[in-house]
Structures are given as C-alpha cells and as structure tokens.
Chains A and B, each alone.
Chain A
C-alpha cells in the first residue's frame, strides 16, 4: 500500500536502504535491554531506520552526491555496522542471543499474537492517515513546488509519508527480513501500476497483491517442510509482478506487441487499398478490372494483404485481374479524406 508512494516518488531503493538501516537498531536495542522482546527491538529498528532515512536526505541535499550514491552508502554502512553488532552479540555468553538473525531473512513462524495485533493497529493507523491526507499526498507526489505555492507545508507531508514508509518496513522485518523487505514494499506497487492509471485503484490493488502474496506464500511454505516463509512470500509477489508486466491490458508487454502488430497490418491494408483507389479513380467505372501486375509497382503490396481485402469484400479477384468493389471504393475514399484532413 505505502509502496505505491515509494514507487511513484522514484525512491524505490529507499525502502531497501531503510530496511538495512534498521538492522543496527535491532542489535543495539538488544544490547541495551538484553531481552528479545520484539516490540523493543522493532522500536530500535524504527529509530535507526529513521536516522538512516534522514541521513540519506541530508547527504542528497547538502552534498553533490547523487541519490543512488547516498542510498548505497547508507545501506552498506548501516548493514555492515548491524552485522558487526550481530556477530559481537553472538560471541556473548547470553543464552538469549540465539535467534536475532531471524531479522535477516525473516521468520513468520516466530510471530506471536501480540506481534500480529501490533501490525493490525499500525496498518489501521496508516489507513486512516492515508484517507485523511489523500489529497495532500497525491498533489505532493505529483508536483511538490506547486503544492508549496498553494500554502501547504510540504515538509510536514513529506515527513508524514516517509515516517509511514519506515513504519511499514520495520513491521515487515519480522516476517520477510532485512534483505527481502524492499521487495515486499515495491513488488505489489510495481505490479499494481501496470493495471491502472488511477492512483486510488493503484493503492488498493497494491494492498490486495501484497495481502495475497502474504497469504499464498505462507500457505505454500506451511505445506512443505523446510521452506521459509519470507522468501516464498517474496517469490509469490514476484510472480504477480511478472504476470502484470506481461498480461496487463494497457502497459503489458504482450498486449503492446499484439497492438503493434495489429496496427502495422491495418496500416498495410489501408495503404494497399488507397493505392488501388488511386488507380481506380482514373477510370470511369470503379470496378474496372486491372491486371494484378500493376500492384507490383507498389512496395507494401503482398498477396496476403490482397486476400484479406477480398475477404473484407473491398476487392474482387478474378483470375489475375482485380477490381475494387463499391464498398472498397467508398472505404478508400473515406480513408483518403481523413488523411488529407489530418495533414491539413
């Protein structure tokens, strides 16, 4: 759901950076409290995720570095630091330490009821905020400068969106893990974008895709032994993306190709027909038969197109002689007029 906004802001990688940036937060929270209470750990993740995000912002606005450089830098820096802390924790003689690495790849099986409640509540809050500030989010994403001139506090809207993206990521960490979280954020949104040109529908679809991947992924991993849930969920989401890329009606590759071929065929037919029209026009009787050889002068002519014209009843074929039918002549003259109008 929130992924839609990340995709539309062309900040897709931000999700990746945030999820990696959350890792040291988890480790530090554990070091301080010494307990494995997931709420505390997630709070740590939230804080370090937010710090990472604002550092990225800072680097982009204060230096000449491009955003991908800043993202890559923060991502690997935080992740490296997080891994360092994790290995340090593992060396400690604390019986509690085992299982922290589940945040790397996620482990949905370890979720307990309170975790699910937390997720539901935060999702609910996200939904309410989204509905309330729908108009503001939309206009900021489309045209930030203009939004500012209308008197909106763009910084506030911006921080609001970013905070909720970070929240969503941090919550997903337990299920999918640091490494795969960004896929969970982006895949449903990217898939949804293929199907619609309406922001509202896009967000709804993304949420649906996300939920379905979650349910299917969990079901598949539960039915087999030794299949961890997180990766399966991500793969299911990936399949949604693949299907959307190929089969969506407007932007999909398949239909684009079909449309492309169909348009070319139509143009070829029109071209042949209009060529015949020009020849036929010079005769008093439009159905005056012509030798098929004349058409050889015309580049686009093929037997196939001529046969198609016959089938459409635009042309009569009699041995090696062709003649335009009444209908063919009319269609051709319409086409001709349309073209001259368009040019004029």
Chain B
C-alpha cells in the first residue's frame, strides 16, 4: 500500500528533467582542502540511479566532506558536481540531506513536528509560511518513521534514535529523488536501525537513490547494494557483491584486513 503510494509519487516526479542516462550523481575531479592538507583528492564518482550506496572509510577519510561538497555546503578547490546531468543549483529540489545528528543543538526550543516541517521550507521559498498542506505532509512523514505519537514533543526530550528519525522524516518531506545521509545509524538502538533500514529499502523500491555515510562494515553487505571506498582518494566504487572484499578494505583502512566480512 505504502509502496504503491510512493510509486505514484514517483510518476509525478517524471515530469522533471530528462534523465541523462541513469547516472544520478556525477562527481568530477573533486578536491577539497580545509587548510593546506587536502581532505579529498581528485575524486571521480558516478552514482547510478536507484542504488542504495554506502560510503565507507576510516575517520578523517573525508566521507562527510564528500557529501557536504556535493551539496554545496563546502566550497571545493577544484572539481564539479552534476545531478542528473545538470548543476546542483538547478537540481536542488531533487536532493534531500540528512545531516549528522550531532551537528545541531537539540535543546533548541521547538517541537518534533516543527523540525519535520522545515523540510517544506525549501519548496516554499523566502518569506512564505507553511500552511495546512505542509503540515499534512509533515504528519505523513512522521507516521512513516513511526514518530507520530511524539509530534508535539520538545526535541530535547526525544531519545537519540528518535531524533535521528525526526531528521529522516524531515528529508522524506522533501520528496526528493536523491537522499544524502550522514551516519544515520550512529548511536541509535536496534529498533531505530531497523526502522531506518526499512525506509531506505522502500526508497530504493521507489527507484530513489540513497547515499549513506556508514561506519559499520559488518552490515554493508546486508543493507546496501552499492559501495564506495574512500580515504582522501577514492579507492573503489561499484556493486557490493563485486568489490566489497578484503583487498579493497585493506587498501582503504591501511591495516591488513583479513577478517572476511562477507561470510
């Protein structure tokens, strides 16, 4: 039922741009540095439409930086990004972002519903206020992540997992084609992890593209079908079943990765 609904939503989306092939996100020669040292070096990346992709790599490998550069939050030194063949600025409406939970102050005086409503601000544009339609969308998104009973809860009174689901709902409201998520599984309990992964799978069924910064290597083969190994440079990218092996893990993490995780 829910799936059907997502499919119909997808049809609406078809009016938007002519998809150049089936490459959802294309990154060319992307190089980013904070001070002198490059954090990302010469990244080329093509992410096909409809994949559920994990970005893995050690701490400081530039995983979050990659996402933030694609989304224009950081300014790269060189390189370009295109979304379905056009610049990100033109395709903004197709992209939704779930930041790291720790990046905001959860003591901010607002409610869960209010945060989810923020997902509608982009389509509203300047000055215009959200109305009934936006509220309805936000409530639907809250229901999808199982947080409807908490809609009027002050956000500091939510557990870490619930806060993460609120962030996810805020992105769902945007009804985008491509979702970027920065460590959505960080510090969440098993219930939330399952809830999130179910939503990710639903998104994929609806032919959305989902890109996730991920830390838990054990769950990569189970949750994702596409993977990018990153450590300042791009080590490898492709289907999990082809490239998720000891060789690439060793190249990415430096140490001799002998634990065969795929078993």
Contacts and interface: CB of A to CB of B under 8 A. Distances in A.
Say if A and B assemble together.
Answer: yes
Interface of A: 8, 10, 132-136, 138-139, 141-143, 145-152, 193, 196-199, 202
B215 to A, nearest CB: 20
By size class, the interface of chain B is: 20 to 34
Given A138-B110, A197-B109, 19 more contacts: A132-B127, A134-B129, A135-B121, A135-B128, A142-B104, A142-B108, A143-B104, A145-B73, A145-B97, A146-B118, A147-B121, A148-B72, A149-B95, A150-B121, A152-B122, A196-B109, A197-B154, A197-B156, A202-B109
Contact of A142 (B71, B115, B126): B115
B103 A198 contact: no
B99 interface: yes
Which of A134, A143, A152 counts the most B-chain CB atoms under 10 A from its CB? A143
Given A135-B130, A139-B118, A198 B110 contact: yes
B124 interface: yes
A138 B118 CA distance: 9
Contacts of B105: 8, 10, 142
A257 B199 CA distance: 41
A199 B97 contact: no
Given A135-B129, A135-B130, A149 B73 contact: yes
Given A135-B129, A135-B130, A149-B72, A143 B118 contact: yes
Given A10-B105, A135-B124, A142 B154 contact: no
A139 B110 CA distance: 11
Nearest to A250: B154
B73 A197 contact: no
Contacts, number: 75
Contact of A197 (B72, B95, B110, B118): B110
Contacts of B73: 145, 148-149
A339 B144 CA distance: 29
Contact of B110 (A142, A147, A151): A142
A143 B71 CA distance: 15
B56 to A, nearest CB: 22
B211 to A, nearest CB: 13
Contacts of A152: 121-122, 126
A199 B124 CA distance: 20
Contacts of A134: 129
B68 interface: yes
B186 interface: no
A142 B118 contact: yes
A143 B102 CA distance: 11
A141 to B, nearest CB: 7
B111 interface: yes
Given A143-B104, A150-B122, A151-B92, A193 B109 contact: yes
A149 B126 contact: no
27 contacts: A8-B108, A10-B105, A132-B127, A133-B127, A135-B124, A135-B127, A136-B121, A136-B127, A141-B108, A142-B108, A142-B110, A143-B99, A145-B99, A146-B97, A146-B99, A148-B72, A149-B96, A150-B121, A150-B122, A152-B122, A196-B109, A197-B109, A197-B110, A197-B154, A198-B109, A199-B109, A199-B110
